[in-house]
Structure 1
């Protein structure tokens, strides 16, 4: 089939015109627990940036600061500091409460304040941030006014409530009448504090959904304790007391927490998790020469089509750079990254970074006579030999990306069990000469598991990041020694090898060390024109937890146009430079301090959440153990 040229397909420039996600507020990135007003900013007139403030730009109805260096956890932590600082400065008591979430979601918090301090909180927020680039959004059970400049907060609350005050403040009780219920809907029960940010290309926005909410907890009456006004916490909707009992660390700052939130919960993942990447640069002439020599020695049949030697399997479009960016953006809790290569190093990689270790194939393989290899299965058979690798890790190919914030529970349960994502059915017939090496490897692995355990796997696993236990990979190397030695010795895939990670998945499951979970993923065949057209959706929605850009189909798209489209997408999807990249002197990193006038008061909690990008795993936005206070 004739490849489509640039006139019939999307070049990078054409794709960039498609990367125009909805304006801030048009759709929340993720649902939040509890009642909340619809966001009306999308219908409001477009904001006008003030003269002489080039860092602020209009982004729908909001003014956003242009920043190219911020990640989600840092923005959330900064907004937490903005919300807490005026309370600290004015002696208003508060505690931090963890919002309810699924185990696979990242941890989030709100500030809990007793309802009796509501008027004081509204007043100090307005006075502290009047004239500054901060938005305050009143939250009630019904529709609210949306994000507001600080100077209009108290007046907007009065208009919203129309003189209705909570019963605890002497207002009307909810007597069940329609008028009373409508009044209850209008009561302001919280305030969201945030500063909007946007990248210069407008492909990454941090709006209200990244803000910190101050919720006004009401007394529970005769039963004692306090009740959350909307939403839920990880300990439920009621706590015996809001009195501080300990402090908790968030991104370098410490905040008080009540006794109800000091205990380790059953689904808390509290063990370290590493990441392992494999990568190859097909443009390296020395690597290409090694591959050609090895292919000639192996024979044309062993290195022909269907044996994993197709050019697109090795093609490097700088995906590794952006996959590592996604890791820093959406999984900052990763402890350490191990990069396995055939003595190749990307020019942009900061090899001196303390959170990164390069692993050569020469270090990985116990038998140097097996090298060089150009077979991912051979490499995967040796991952347990990585020196310093932790027990729990997540394995990435460089074409795999995180698409949104995830917690450690996305990959591992708190009891240590790996969460694995199943995919296609393994054909039930035996391995045949006409099978390609992928299908043959899955069939061989199925038969090896069935032969040892008497149970027959029926499905493959998704081409997505894989959770794994180092000790179980080591055990498989012993239990399936002949099969895995043969796999490690194959420079190119053959019809006899196993898939080490499929083998791990089923042996871990049968050992009670893994569970099968629903995959939240998108697979994009960047060789297929229809599939490639989905890339703009991944800019606008940012919904799937993981996605993969894999070269399956060949010959339908001009390679230059394909590369331009993929690079344009990756740059737009992950515009924030990662911690493992060499500092670009022209990019202005580390970022300059924000103007002093924009800082919260000096007595804010310790730790600057808007500091330079941190190493992955350095604790950005992570929760440390509660300390008695």
Structure 2
């Protein structure tokens, strides 16, 4: 993008430098030269001074923190779940309006969606008074919303709520006890002031005529844009565990409301466990005695645990609290920090799901994945995650499963090479080729793309059908104790294509970040991810870091994950000793 400086003569820039005040120049300098460290420090100092001027009576126990982009007054918390935060921010607004008798209805209350409260425009002044009166001592923010973006959030009681704004976002910023930023406006509650028509007639050229007194939304939403007087009746319904006024004629759930239970399945291994290492070495000797084994099927990074599962579970609880139950599939192992007695988690041993115990022990992720649908109690819909996949921000269940039961899958731009599987292929490529050939033989269409490393939305019934339909390939894969060029990859690829051609899966979209931790630019990319937190999910993949110092890699990953997911989840046992 060209800068202003590219269009200014040098002598004019010199004259500007001499004539303008330094404070003003530091503000406009980014337009000329781009943002610099000097400009950032100036901005941060101004923001810090502004926050310091907020009286303690308006702070509500909040402390000053930075999210790397802005400074905030944030409230320390020891637990965090986007589901709970969305509900709490709605309570801030709805309780204040209710206390002051301000007419309002809760329009949006779907799982993990930002709540929306509608106030008629003739009650807008009373609503602002109610919010300022009730929330001034709470350290809460209010900000106008324009074009979907918040504009200059201000602390309620310290700065007046803008009177001209038709759309506000109200929220409390949250942080950890040691002042790591957790959330701000992203999980706030929206308040919209809907205009009332003063006369009968169409709202715009060619639109349906509406009667006087109709509420008109200032911007589009999931539910309704106009509400005629005869449809403004209120019904009391339970929202987030509290009785709230809602529009009587807006029925929940609607077309895109997901009500089916969605479980989560992880596969996990700790390659440093001495007992596991002995099983691995013995089995590898036996398999090598029977033939060659692909190098990438046995590289140490495939079995290395850097505590990723701990942080993936934290991300799950923080940003996908709607999950029904979690299953962790392991080879006679349980992470030392995991509270296996937690009511929402079950540790599943390989022997509990493999129908052929002669195939065990197995060190082939393709084989383990082929048996996931045998988990006792597993729901029809579930997400399959490797432990190096994380939720990066609040996500809705409809991102993965649609209300009619269809699952979403997310094709990668990476392609499947032409030709058949070969011993020199990487195992993932060989499996992709075999998947492609099976789809072609069964449905007459050639697939070309791999899938992104994201939570894979599965239907148990689809996996059961695949086991029957492709019995030979399925059985061969389940019996292979190490990855080989004869494998198929089921939940990460084949199940999506099979679901698509049988009318049970469709392509979806997701904001996704991928990092190969062996790449030299990964630390810088992770720093940007930590600062912006603008992806639904991300994967820290260890494709092959053999030969790279494992201690350095572990410190980099652990430092990043601890900063991104700093609070222990309810799945973790209370720390003690060297586990702290």
Q: 2:243 matched to 1:254? A: yes
Question: Is the 8 Å Cα contact of residues 411 and 467 (structure 1) preserved in structure 2?
Answer: yes
Q: Aligned residue for 1:459?
A: 449
- The counterpart of 1:425, out of the listed 378, 398, 415, is 415
Alignment correspondent of 1:360: 349
TM-score normalised to structure 1 length? 0.76
Deviation at 1:204, TM superposition (A): 2.8
1:329 maps to which of 318, 322, 327: 318
In structure 2, the partner of 1:181 is none
* Secondary structure of 1:298's aligned partner: helix
Give per-residue Cα distances to partners, 1:434-455, cap 9 Å, x unaligned.
2232222221222222223332
Residues 96, 111 of structure 1: 8 Å contact kept: yes
For 1:192, the equivalent position in structure 2 comes to 169
Alignment of structure 1 residues 98-117 onto 2, 5 Å: 98=108, 106-117=112-123
1:417, 1:515 within 8 Å by CA — same for their partners in 2? yes
Give the C-alpha shift of residue 355 in structure 1.
Answer: 0.9
CA shift in 2, pair 1:277/1:42, >3 Å: farther
Paired residues of 2:167 and 2:190 also in contact (CA < 8 A): yes
Distance across 1 between alignment mates of 2:469 and 2:146: 60
Q: Deviations over 1:227-286 (max 9, x none)?
A: 345332212321224745433433322311103422532222221111111000111111
Distance 1:211 1:43, change over 3 A: farther
Aligned with 1:121 (options 123, 127, 152)? 127
CA deviation after TM superposition for structure 1 residue 193, in Å: 2.7
Distance 1:302 1:251 in 2: 59
| Aligned residue number for residue 47 of structure 1 | 51
1:475/1:534 CA distance change after superposition, 3 Å: same
- C-alpha distance in 2, partners of 1:414/1:456? 29
2:20 maps to which residue? none
More helix by share: 2
From 66, 75, 78, the counterpart of 1:65: 75
C-alpha displacement at 1:70, in angstroms?
A: 2.2
Change (3 A) 1:528 1:191: closer
Residue of structure 2 equivalent to 1:33: none
The 3 A distance-change label for structure 1 pair 142 and 266 is closer
Is 1:350 the counterpart of 2:354 in the alignment? Answer: no
Match of 1:79 among 65, 89, 103: 89
Distance 1:129 1:41, change over 3 A: farther
Gaps of 5+ in 1: 1-39, 162-186, 587-629
**CA-to-aligned-CA distance 1:449-470 (integer Å, 9 cap, x gap):** 2223332222222222111110
1:303 & 1:249 partners in 2: Cα distance? Answer: 62
In structure 1, what is the Cα distance between the partners aligned to 2:130 and 2:445? 65
State the distance in 2 between where 1:61 and 1:310 align. 44
CA distance in 2, matches of 1:431, 1:298: 20
CA separation in 2, counterparts of 1:61 and 1:498? 50
Match of 1:506? 497
Equivalent residues in 2 for 1:243-322, closer than 5 Å = 243-299=232-288, 304-322=293-311
Shift of 1:533: 2.9
**Relative CO higher for 1 or 2, CA cutoff 8 Å, sep ≥ 6?**
1
1:562 lines up with 2:550 in the alignment: no
Deviations 1:329-366 (A, max 9, x none): 11111111111111111111111111111111010111
Alignment coverage as a number of residue pairs: 515
TM-score, normalised relative to structure 2: 0.82
Per-residue CA deviations over 1:57-76 (Å, capped at 9, x if unaligned) read 22356422222322223222
